[in-house]
Chains A and B, each alone.
Chain A
Amino acid sequence: MLPPPIAIRVATEWLAARARWQPLEVGFWIVAFAAIWLFPDRHLILTEIAWLGLFALSLDLILGYAGIISLGHAAFFGLGAYTAALLAKYEIINEPVLALLVAGLAAMALGFVTSFLVLRGSDLTRLMVTLGVALLLRELANRLGWLTGGADGLQGVSIKPVLGMFRFDMFGHTGYAYSLIVLFILFLIARRLVNSPFGLSLLSVKGNPLRASAIGISVDGRLIAIYTVAAGFAGIAGALLAQTTSFASLEVFSFDRSADLLLVLIIGGAGYLYGGLIGAIIFKFMQDYLSALTPQYWPFWIGLVLVVIVMVGRDRITSWTAPFRRIASHLNWRALARHVAASSSERR
C-alpha cells in the first residue's frame, strides 16, 4: 500500500491524465466547427447530426457509464421538444437559449422523478419501464390536442432570433452554428463529469453495484444523479430539434426514435463519449446517402452495417485506426514529458 498523500497524488494525476485532451479530439472539434464555413450547403443535415449526437451522448452517459439500458429515452427528448416549441408558440419565452435551458430543466425534472423507477429491477425491467414512460408521454401529448395539436403536430411555431441577433434561416446556417455550440458546451460538461471521481464511481457501479456499495459508494444516489443529468441532455437535444425545425410532433416520443438512438450508439460504440457523436455522423450520412440511392431498401444496408460491426467486432475495426492513434499517443507522450519536466523543475 502507498502512504495516503502519495496515493492521493497518484490518483489525482491519473485523473488528470484521463481528462487530458487528445490531439484527435481537438481535430474532431476543429473539423466540426470548420464545417460552418466549409460545407454551407450541408448545414441542414449537419444540424440533425448535432442534435442526434447530443441525444446519443445523453444515452451514452446512462448506458455507457452507468449501465442503465433504456428503450424510452425519447421521453426526455420529446418533453424537451414540446417544451421549447410551446414556449415559443405561446411567446412565453422568446429567446431560444433561455427556452433551451428551461426545456432542459423540464426534462431533468422528469428524469429525476422517473429515475426512481429505473433503480428497481434488472435490465429487462428497465427496458419495459423506460419504454412505458415514453409511451405514456406520447399518449398524453396525443390527448392534450388543445395544447399540443395532437396527431397533427404543433403548428405555427415561430422561433425568434438567437440572443435577439441571429435569425434562423432557411438554409440552416444559424441552426447549425447554434446546435454545434450547444453540443460543444454540453460535451465539455459531460467530459468533465465522466473524468471526475463521480464518473469513476459510476463506472464502478456499472461494473459491480454490490461491490461499489461495499466500498461506500451510494449506488442509488449516483444512478439518480446521472439519469437526471442525461435526461436534461436529451431534453436539450429535443429542444434543438424543435427550435431548428419550428415544429414538434408525436413522432418525438416514438419508440422508433428510442430504438434508432440505441442503434446510433451501438454503431459508434458506448462508453467513450465520442461514440454517440461518431454514431450520429455515420448513421445520418448513411441514411442520407443510402436513402437517396434506394429510398425503399436503405434500412437493409444500415442493418447490414450493424451486423458487420457485431460480427467483425469493434475491437478489430478500431484496430484499423491504430496507426493514427499511435501517432496521437506519441504526440501525447511528448507533451506529457514536457509537462513532467516543467513541473519537476518547478518543484526544485
Chain B
Amino acid sequence: MMFKYTTGAIAALAIGTFAAGGAFAQDTVKIGLIISMTGQQASTGKQVKAGVDLYMKEHGDMVAGKKIQVILRDSGSVPDNTKRLAQELIVNDKVNVIAGFEITPAALVVAPLATEAKVVEVVMAAGTSIITEKSPYIVRTSFTVPQSCVIIADWAAKNKIKKVVTIVSDYAPGFDAEKSFTERFKAAGGTVAEAIRVPLANPDFSPFLQRAADAKPDAIFIFVPSGQGGSFMKQFAERGLDKAGIKLIGPGDVTDDDLLPGMGDAAIGTVTAHFYSADHNSAMNKAYVAAFEKANHFRPGFMSVGGYDGMNLIYSALKKTGGKADGDSLIAAMKGMKWESPRGPISIDPDTRDIIQNIYIRKVEKKNGQLYNVEFETFKDVKDPVKAAMKK
C-alpha cells in the first residue's frame, strides 16, 4: 500500500498536481454513491444500491457519448464518514455527481461540499423536508415525510376517523410526521387524543400500544423508520388491537415492501399513504418488480425506486446537456424534468428541486398468498407540503 501512495505522490509531482485527473474525466462521468451498506440503515442502502444496479443493467453504462462509472462507498450509517467519503470522492476521484444518503444528517453534512465544489447531490433516500433548501445543487428522487402524512390525514378525515392517537419514533423525521399529520388532521376537524413518542433504538412498543388502546381512538397513526415495521405489527397483534376495531393508519414506512411479506396477517387492513407500492398497477412497474426480484431475490421497497429514479434523472440530464457534466449544467437540466417511474408519473419541482409525485392510499391485502399494499385512491402531483406552506 505504501508503495502505491509513494508512486502516486511522485507521479502527481511530476505531472503537476491536478492535470492528470482532468484529461481522464473527459469521457467518463463519475457518480459517487455513498450509502449505508452496513450499520443501522443497511436495509436502506441495500434497496437503493439494488435500484441503481438494476437501472444500469437495463440502460447500459453509456449515455451521450460518456461512460458512466458508479463508485460505491459504504457510509456505515455514520454522517461524519459520509462527509469524509464525499470529500475524497470530489477531491481525489473528481466525481461529477454525489448520490445516495440514507439519513437526513448524512444528506445535510454534504450540502456545503456540494455548494463549494459545484457538484450535484442526488438524495436517493433521506426524507426530511428541509434537505433541498441547504444547497442549490441538491435534488431529491425519494420523498419527503410530510408528503405522505398530510395525505393520510386528509383521507382519514374524509373516512369517518374522528379520534386518533399518534405514535412516532422519537427523532426528527418522527416529529415531522407527527406535526404534519396533526396540523392537517385538526384543520379537517379531527382530534388527536394523545401524541406518543417511542424511543428510536430497540423499541418495545407494548406499553405505548396499551396507552394508545386506553384512549379508545378510531385509529392509531404510526410512523416508524422502515426497518421497525415488523416488530410493531407483531406487538400490535399481540395486544389484540387489530381485533379491538382500532384501525392502523400512517405513511407507508410501517408497511415497507421490504419487510411486508414477513409481517403476518396482523398487518392486513392497515391503511397507509405513500408514493410506491410493489403492487402499483402499471406495465412499467410489473416489469420493474419482475426484473428486480430476479436480480435480488427480495421485493423492491420504496427506497429502491429512489435509487432507480435517481439514476434515470442523471442519465436524462446528461442526454439533455449533451454530455456536459458540470454541476451548473446538470442541475439546470434536472429542474422541471418529468418522467414515468415504476411508482407512476413524477417530476422535479423547478423551484425547490424536490420531487413531485402521486401519493396513493393503500390497504394491506393478501394477493396470491402474499401481503401487498394495494392502492385504491390516488392524490395527484403532491408537492412537499412544508415548502409549499413556506411560500405562502
Contact = CB atoms under 8 A, between A and B. Distances in A.
Interface string A242-268: 000111011110101000000000000
Contact of B38 (A145, A245, A298): A298
Interface string A37-69: 011111011011000000000000000000000
B171 A245 contact: no
Contacts of A291: 37, 73-74, 76
A39 B128 CA distance: 38
Given A38-B6, A295-B74, 17 more contacts: A38-B9, A40-B17, A47-B84, A142-B170, A150-B175, A151-B173, A152-B105, A152-B128, A152-B130, A153-B104, A247-B80, A251-B77, A295-B37, A295-B38, A296-B38, A296-B42, A299-B38
A249 B38 contact: no
A137 B109 CA distance: 22
Contacts, number: 103
A28 interface: no
Nearest to B105: A153
Interface in A73-124: none
A241 interface: yes
Contact of A247 (B88, B90, B109): B109
B376 interface: no
B39 interface: yes
A300 to B, nearest CB: 10
A44 B88 contact: yes
Contact of B1 (A153, A171, A246, A289): A289
Closest 3 CB pairs of A and B: A153-B105, A151-B171, A295-B74
Interface of A: 38-42, 44-45, 47-48, 142, 145, 150-153, 155, 170-172, 241, 245-247, 249-252, 254, 256, 285, 289, 291-292, 295-296, 298-299
B108 interface: yes
5 contacts: A44-B91, A251-B77, A296-B38, A296-B74, A298-B38
Interface of B: 1, 5-6, 8-9, 12, 17, 37-39, 42, 46, 72-74, 76-80, 83-84, 87-88, 90-92, 104-105, 108-109, 112-113, 116-117, 128, 130, 134, 170-173, 175, 200
A170 B73 contact: no
B1 A45 contact: no
B87 A152 contact: no
Contacts of B113: 170
Contacts of A170: 87, 90-91, 113, 116-117
B87 A44 contact: yes
Contact of A298 (B74, B88, B130): B74
Contacts of B84: 44-45, 47-48, 245
Contact of A296 (B8, B37, B117): B37
A249 B79 contact: yes
A251 B78 contact: yes
Given A38-B9, A249-B109, A150 B37 contact: no
Contacts of B79: 153, 247, 249, 251
Contacts of A285: 1
Contacts of A249: 79-80, 105, 109
A247 B74 contact: no
B107 to A, nearest CB: 9
A155 B110 CA distance: 10
A77 to B, nearest CB: 11
Given A247-B80, A247-B83, A256-B39, A152 B92 contact: no
Contacts of A298: 38, 74
Contacts of A247: 79-80, 83, 109
Contacts of A172: 87, 91
A295 B36 CA distance: 9
A42 B91 CA distance: 10
Given A152-B128, A153-B105, A170-B117, A245 B83 contact: yes
Residue from B80, B91, B171 having most chain A Cβ neighbours under 10 A: B80
Contacts of A145: 172, 175
Contacts of A292: 73
A275 B172 CA distance: 38
Given A145-B172, A151-B105, A151-B173, A171 B91 contact: yes
